[in-house]
Structure 1
Amino acid sequence: MRAPAWLPLPLRRFLRVVRRYWRVLVRRVEVWSSPARRAWRRSLQLRVVALTLVASSLLVGAFGWFIADRSAKILLSRAQDEVQVSMRNRVAYAEQQLTIHPQARDPQLPKTFTLIVNQLGDGDPAESGGSVVSIRAEEYPELAAVTSPNIPTDELISRELIRDVAAEGKVARQIVTARVNDRTTKYLITGSPVPTSFGHVELYYMVPLTTEDSAANQIRTTVLATGIALVLMLGVIAGLVTRLVVTPVRVAARTAQRLSAGLLDQRMKVDGEDDLALLAASFNQMAANLQRQIVRLEELSRLQRRFTSDVSHELRTPLTTVRMAADLIFAERDEFDPAVARSAELLQAELDRFESLLTDLLEISRFDAGFAALDAEHTDLVPIVERVADRLSGLAERVGVEIELRVPDQPVIAEVDPRRVERVLRNLVGNAVEHGEAKPVRVTLASDDAAVAITVRDHGIGLKPGEERLVFNRFWRADPSRARQTGGTGLGLSISAEDARLHGGWLEAWGAPGEGAQFRLTLPVRSGDRLLAAPLPLIPRDRAPGRPDEPAGMPAESAEPQAEVV
C-alpha cells in the first residue's frame, strides 16, 4: 500500500524504507520457517503432539496459577489473623502503660514510649526477621515517634495509613515492600489507635512476610516443576499413542503407493483384532480383489489385442486373393452391364476401405503391444506439410475446399519420425477437408527453440463441448447417425494421438458448434526433450469474439507466414 500523498516527503520516504525492510523480513521468516511449516503439514503425529502440548500447557498453567495464588492468599490470610490477635494484645499493653500519664506534656511520656516499643519489639528484623513496633502521636508534634529497633519508617508507614489511623481512628493495614538495612523486605503493617486520657496515640506493628513469601515461592516452584513434568509426560504419552495410530496409516499409505506402482502382491501385516487390525485386513482384501480384477482385465486386454492382431494378419491372405479378383473385374468393368460395372466400382472402393482398416488395426495392435518404435532423424517439416497438402489436393477439389498453407520460408528442422508425422498430418488434413463444408482449411507451421507446432483449422460444423477429448477415442464419431459406409475407419485420430505421444509431443483439439475446429500437433525439436509450451495457440484468433469459454492470456500467433493456396 502506497503512503498517502498528503504526508510530508521525508515521512513517505521513511515509510517506503520501512515497508521494504518489512517485506525482506517477511520473506526471510518464510524461508526460515519453511521446513517447520512443511513438517507441520506432512506429519499428523507432530500436529497431535503439538496441540496436546499447547492445550495441556494452558490447562496446567491455569491450574498451577490458581493453586499458587490460592496458597499465597491462604498464607497471607493466616499471617493477618495472627497479626490481628497480636495487635490486640499490644494495643492493650500500650493502653495500660499510657494510662498513668494525664497529659501529653508529661516529661515521662517519651520514656514510656521507649519502654513500650522495647517491650513489644521482637529484635532486629534485618538479622532475626523480627517485627518492628512504632508509636507516635500525630496530634502532638512535640512528641517524637519512637521505633524499635531504631530504623527509619518513612518508607514503611505511608501517609494514607497514618491518615486512616490518626484522623479516622480506625484499625488499618497495608502491605509494603521497602528496603530496610540494605535488604528489600515485604512487610505487613497494621496501625491502631491507642486511647489515652489526653487523646489518641497511634501504634504501628510491622511484621515481615519473609516466611510467607518463601513458602509461596516454594509452592510456585513446586507447582511449576510439577506442571512442566506433567506437560512433558502428556506430550510423550500423546506421541506414543499417536504413533500407535499413525504407524499403521503410514504403512497403509506406503503399501498403497507400491500397489499404484504396479506391485500388486504388497500386503499389510495384521496384528491383533482391534480396529487397526480390521483396517489392515480390509485393506489386504481390497488389494487382493484389485489384483484379481487387474490380472483378469490384463488377460482380457491381452487376448483382445492378440485377437485383433491375429485376425488382421489372417485376413491379409484372403484379402489379397479377393483384391486380385476385384482388380481383374474392375479393369474389365467397361465391358459389363452398367449395373455390374457400378458394383465393380463399389467393390473396389470397399476393398480399399477394408484394406485401410486392416492396416490401422495392425498399427493399433503394435501400439498396444508396445512394439511401436520411433525412427527419429533430423527432418525438414516444410516439405512434409507441402507433400500432404499436395496429395490431398484432389480430394479437396472434389469437395470444393481450398487448402491454405502458412509455412516459413526457411527450413524447420526437428528430430522426428517423418513417416509418422506425415501420417498424422494426412489424418488431420483429410478430416478437415471432409468436414470443411466447402470452406477453406488452413495449415500453419511455426517453431521456436524448443518445439514445433502444426495447426489444422477448418470452418465446418465444429465440436460440441467435451467432444474435444472424445475425438481421439477409437471408432468415435462426432455424428453417430452417419452410416458406417461413409467416412474413415474411425482409428485415424487415435493412431495420430499415439504417434504424437511416441514423439513425446501433444495432439490437442478445439472446436465450437458452427465455428469449426482446430487440431494442434506439438513436437519437441530434440527427441526426448520435455515440452513446456507450444509456438502456436490451440484456440484460433479468427473465431467469433467475446465467447465466455475463450481463455485469457492465450499466446498470439507471431509472424505468421503468408498463406499459400493449394
Structure 2
Amino acid sequence: MKWYSRFNSVSFKIGMIFSVVFIALLLIFGLTMYGMFTNIFVDYIEQELVARGNNHASILKKNFKQSTIDHVVMMEQEVPTEVLISDPAGKIIASSAVPDNEMLEHINAASKIKEGKIAVGDWRQHKYVISVSPIGNGEGYIYMYYPSSILRDIVFTMNVLIISASIGIFLLAFGLIGFLSRRLTKPLLQMEEATMNMSQGKYRQEIFYKGDDEIAKLGSSIQALGEQLQYFEDSRNQFLSAVSHEIRTPLTYIRGYSDVLMKGMAKDPEENLKYLDIINKEAQRISFMINDLFEMSKLQVGQFELNKEQADINRIIERVASSLRPAAEKKGLEITTNLESDLPYLNMDIHRMEQVFYNLIENGIKYSTEGRVSIRSFLKKSLVIIEISDTGIGIPQQEIPLVWERFYRVDQSRARKTGGTGLGLYVVKQIIEAHDGDIQVESMENQGSVFTIYLKNQ
C-alpha cells in the first residue's frame, strides 16, 4: 500500500507527466538539431565543392594549358577532394586520382550547364558528392568529388554525441523533476509552467485557482501579468512594424534623389527642383511621423500638458484650412467652410487644437480622390460643435470603433501609399478628451466620413 500510495500521489503523477513531456521535447530537439546540423553541414560541403570547382574552372578559362591543368590537379593532391578534368566530349584530360567506376559513371559529355552545380548530392547512397563546373565557353568541365564516407562518419559521431548528451540531460532533469514534484503542490507547478511559457514569449496563460488564499492570489497576479505583457508585446510589435515601414519609404526617396543630385545626373534645372521638392516633402513626412510619435510618448508617460487660453475656434479652423487648400487643390479637391459667426471664445490650447484640425482635414484630403472636405461649426445649447466631412473611401462599419487606437489605418493597402503611422486619430482623441470634449465618427464605405467634435462652452 505504501508503494501504491506513492505511485498514486500527485507529486509522482506530475513528475511522470513532466518526464514524458521532457522526453518528447528532448526527442524533438534532438531530431531538430540532427536535421539542422546535417543540412547545414552538407550544404556547406556542397557549396564549398562548387566553389572550388568554379575556382579551378576560372583559372583554366584564363589559361587552358597543360601547366595550368597540372597546377589544378596538384592543388587537390593533399585534400580529401578529388578533381577530374574532361573535354566537351567527356574525354578525361587529367585527374588527381585514378578514376573509379563511380567517378566515371557520372561524367556527362552532353551537359549544357552554364554554371557550377551539384551533379550528385545523395551522400547516403553514393560514394561521392559530385559537382560539375563548365570551363569557359564549352572548353571542358571540372568534376569535383568529395568522399561521402567522411560525411557519414561525421554524422555518426554527431549522433553519438547527441544521444550521450540527451541521456545525461534526461537523467539530471528526471532527478530534479522528482525532487520538485514531491514538494510542490499542483497549483504551484501550474504557475511554474505558466511562468516558463511567459519567459519564452507565450504571455497569455490560463491558471486555474480556487479560493482566496495566497496561492490563489498569486495565480491571479501571474495571469494578469501575462495579459499585460502580451498587450505590451503586441503594442511593441505594432510600433516597430508601423514605424520601420513608414520611415523606410521616405528615407529611400531621400537617399535616391539626393544621390541623383549629388552625382549631377539631372541636368535640367526644373528636374533638379522637382527632385528637391520630393526630398523636402519626404523630409516633412518623416517630421510629421516623429511629431506623432513624440506626442504619443508624452501621452504614455503622462506628460501631456495643455497651455490653455481664450481663443476663437473659427479663426483656428480658417487658418488650418487655408494652409491645406494647396494640397487639396493639387488633388482636385475643394475645402469649404461654413462657420457660424459669433461663437463664444473657448478656453483651449491653440497649438493642440490646430493639430486636431490639421490631422482631421489632412486625413480627409489623403483618403479622398474627388469631391470636397467640408468644415462646419455651430452652437447647440452649451456645446460648440465642429463637423469635418469628406467624400473619401470611408470606414467599414465593423472597424469604426478601432479608428481611435494607436497604429490603426483604414485599408492597409492604400495606407501604404498615403503613409502615416496610424497615430493621428489617436492623438486627436487624446487632445479633445484633455479639453473635456468628445469626438465621434460616422462613415460609410466609398461615401466618406464625418468627424464631429463636441466642446463645452465654459
TM range (shorter): 0.3 to 0.5
What TM-score results when the alignment is normalised by the length of structure 1? 0.37
What TM-score results when the alignment is normalised by the length of structure 2? 0.45
Tell me which structure has the larger Cα radius of gyration.
1
